[in-house]
Amino acid sequence: MRVRLDISYDGTDFRGFAENAGVVTVGGELRAAIERVLGGPVALTCAGRTDAGVHARGQVVTFDVPDRAVGAEARVDVHRLRRSLNSMLGPSIVVRSVAEVADDFDARFSATWRSYRYTVLRAEVPDPFLGRTTWWVPDPLDLDVMQSGAAALVGEHDFASFCRRPTPDASLVRRVFHAQWVPGADEQLHFEVVASSFCHQMVRSFVGTLVDAGRGRERCADMAAVLAARDRAAAGNIAPPHGLCLWEVGYGDADPVAPSVRGSRSG
């Protein structure tokens, strides 16, 4: 029996999703809780291995239920599993839904797109109630310049200027379906980006470079030139992790949808 979890978490106090010896991670805490409930070892696969301090609204995880947890005819009670996990892990990690899925469904490899939202707080003073989830930027920002730069990211490109290359021969070509800045409430500004997949620190590099452009740093203003350089040194600063949230993961024939578009449809 293969199970899919849709989870949300505040990543502030975790060293990312992936398990790492000696530190607290989302995946480590989640796996330990599942094993306590089911009484056997499990191996988790996630849709996106978020870094330390990064949050998630729509992370997806799959795992196979150990044989000892179910009999020949029995199935795991998904409602009980969700209640038990939320009792142990909430409120920092919340299981939004639990479902049995086909044996060939994989949280990572079955995904066709992922969306992220990065939130900037444009204000003269910081907000203590938003400090864990927004990047406070007190400087004036030219939103038109930032929107123009975001538009240049759409399409299939080699994003070497914005990614940490894992190995010398690894491809950093990705397809971005959507990228734009959306004004939010309480002086917040959201950068929304949807792509087939993302390489390491790609979204935070986008945001840092676009904010540098909005601040008037000329070398970051021509995003097409930054892309063409295929050189990490051509991009701007990397935005801090706490403003970033993995928003949604798409599967099958689901059309790539930006967070604000999804919100307007559901509202």
Q: Which residues are catalytic?
A: 51
The residue type of 100 is E
Q: Which residue has the tokens 């919340």?
A: 94
Beta carbons of 262 and 192 less than 8 angstroms apart: no
CA 151, 157, 161, 164 torsion: positive or negative? positive
CA distance 159 to 148: 17
Residue 39: how many CB atoms within 10 A of its CB? 9
Beta carbons of 57 and 246 less than 8 angstroms apart: yes
The residue type of 77 is D
